[in-house]
Amino acid sequence: MLGLLRRLFDNNEREIARYYKQVVEPVNRLEAEVEKLPDLAAAYRELKEKYEKGASLDELLPMAFALTRESAKRYLGMRHFDVQLIGGAVLHEGKIAEMKTGEGKTLVATLAVALNALTGKGVHVVTVNDYLARRDAEWMGPVYRGLGLSVGVIQHASTPAERRKAYLCDVTYVTNAELGFDYLRDNMAISPDQLVLRHDTPLHYAIIDEVDSILIDEARTPLIISGPAEKATDLYYKMAEIAKKLERGLPAEPGVRKEPTGDYTIEEKNRSVHLTLQGIAKAEKLLGIEGLFSPENMELAHMLIQAIRAKELYHRDRDYIVQDGQVIIVDEFTGRLMPGRRYGEGLHQAIEAKEGVKIERENQTLATITYQNFFRLYEKRAGMTGTAKTEEKEFQEIYGMDVVVVPTNRPMIRKDFPDVVYRTEKGKFYAVVEEIAEKYERGQPVLVGTISIEKSERLSQMLKEPRLYLPRLEMRLELFKKASQKQQGPEWERLRKLLERPAQLKDEDLAPFEGLIPPKGNLRTAWEGLKRAVHTLAVLRQGIPHQVLNAKHHAREAEIVAQAGRSKTVTIATNMAGRGTDIKLGGTPSTWRRPFWRRRALTGTSGRWSSSSRRWWRGRRRRPGPSPRSSGSGRSFWKGSARSGRSASRTRSGSGPWEGFSSSAPSGTSPAA
């Protein structure tokens, strides 16, 4: 009865039923016929002739999908499942297909690409980085070439001639950044021979991979082509020194303080700085000027404000890294490096001065466009991701795109355990280490997600140095002593004497005293916590090999993530680093020695994550395996005060007091203070 009601009132269910009737059934009926065709390219050319004579793409869809499926079977050994046919139809209709991680979105795109390539106007498959563009073009290339289609790929290092050739192909794989900059450069061209996009239909149809990341998270990110300004200035170094001498204060607050304190105050939410009267006077004295905000000194005031912003709001190894004497921005959404991109309005120069590296010449903007405005220029656009439903309203209002949730090919078997909340960040990190140690000892692969490079390296350090975990053991010991202080007897005296040397405790030392502890109550809880701490320390001392994946190791990103499914593999990654890379249980075939099919645990420290980011991490816990035993599981850990509304962590831009951690954990684990 419940299923009937859902089908009647759930619009998504009705859409899926429509696709089964109008797409899946006709394509399946053609499968036997298409299998007998000796030349798929010839059959595809016949479809193209029908299109040129007036047939619509919707009319040609069943045969185009059947030919593409057969091409994938012949040249890749992969057959599109029925749900993947639905995904292809969703993309053809200019909608967004939400498909769970591991359901084969890369293969799904070939269906809509092949169908829309019949127009001869070119199809762009947009990915988030060069690696994925190259990988997908090489991987899916045989499918397209089996139909007689040409495939091009554009990389950051591609020359104008190579770009022009790639865009003239039937199918072009390219990153969102390269595509946007090619569009801007074409608009600045002074002669036709400088253009790289097609002259007649430069922006016909685009399929955007990780569409929520590009069209929502980075929607307002401006693509800017700039040229050098007239002169550079060394005043930024002086401003950086002055900023160090100014002290941060507290803003005015009704009922607490009438005037702000210190030399300046900070608004974290807006990333803005406000100088106090005291700060203005001190800055004027240090600069040797009068009237810091007078018209003739406005440039100095602006540079000082940017120097303070660089000092207080932009942190090394979180917002940027310093590499080879250059300040390189770290993408806050993906954790990837963005070489070549610079903060505007003198902020990048202020950061360079703070770090003591060479200050690059300031630039002036020659051309700019946001991703939001750029992708709206396409005649037709579609997208695919594992996380879009939560942003459906924004997709509809801004881009006119509906979201269709495509069902999984097999039932979901992932386990999502309840979140746990800790009062302090230190307590949260100790719990994270315990979780990793427990899963590592079981042989489970563990994927850890962090918000920043700094925190990924902090967690790595805790796994490398057991001494950093000793305070946790000592704290657990104090809790046990407090819970057992009323207990008397010779056995208890023996136990207390043993506990005087916590760093030397072993599991076997505690085992003989198990009978002293009642099965329930505070004493049992404290005892179990002590045992877990002792055991975790023992595992740490034996060593937990792990890989750290963040912006500093960008070149190895795909390789590290691809191996994250091997038994006893612990991988620490910033935010969404490695997004789009397959994680195969047991690792990639080139590294297999023997199969390790275990349930995957997912673990990660996070804060300021968008809902799509957190759903993506949750998706990494479950990718198709060979048996029901390959299900994934996970739990989120958070740090925050009880007075703070949990919704603070749900906003895309606000940091709030909460920080999270996703991890696999046994269902018996309870929230801890």
Domain boundaries, the chain: 2-224+372-405, 235-360, 415-663
CA 641 to CA 656: how far, in whole Å?
10
User: How would residue 627 be classed by pLDDT, with cut points 50, 70 and 90?
Assistant: very low
Q: What does pLDDT average to over the chain?
A: 84
E strand intervals along 550-631 = 570-574, 600-606
Residue 668 has pLDDT above 50, yes or no: no
The per-residue pLDDT for range 257-272, each reduced to its tens digit, is 888 999 999 998 888 9
Report the predicted TM-score, pTM, of the whole model to 2 decimal places: 0.72
pLDDT confidence band for 645 (50 / 70 / 90): very low
**CATH number belonging to domain 2-224+372-405:** 3.40.50.300
- Residue with more model confidence, 670 or 306: 306
Question: Whole-angstrom Cα distance, residue 670 to residue 673?
Answer: 10
The residue behind tokens 């139809």 is: 89
pLDDT in tens, 408-463: 998 877 777 777 888 898 999 999 999 999 999 999 888 888 877 788 889 999 99
- C-beta atoms surrounding 353 within 10 Å: 27
Q: What is the mean pLDDT of residues 211-226?
A: 88
Q: Dihedrals φ, ψ of 406, to 5°?
A: -85, 130
The two beta strands, 600-606 and 96-98, are unpaired
Same fold, 2-224+372-405 and 235-360: no
CATH number of 415-663: 3.40.50
Q: What is the dihedral of CA 154, 156, 157, 163, to 10 degrees?
A: 30
Tokens 């009922």, residue located = 255
Please report the pLDDT score of residue 51 as a whole number: 97
Check pLDDT > 60 for residue 578: no
Token pair, residue 61, equals 């869809």
CA dist 431 and 416 (Å) reads 18
Check: CB of residue 617 under 8 Å from CB of residue 585. Answer: no
In the predicted model, is pLDDT for residue 666 greater than 80?
A: no
More confident residue, 658 or 589: 589
Burial class (CB in 10 A: 0-12, 13-18, 19+), 359: buried
Q: So what's the pLDDT on residue 646?
A: 32
Domain 235-360: give its CATH code: 3.90.1440.10
pLDDT digits (tens, 9 = 90+) for 490-547: 999 999 999 998 889 999 999 999 999 999 999 999 999 999 999 999 999 999 999 8
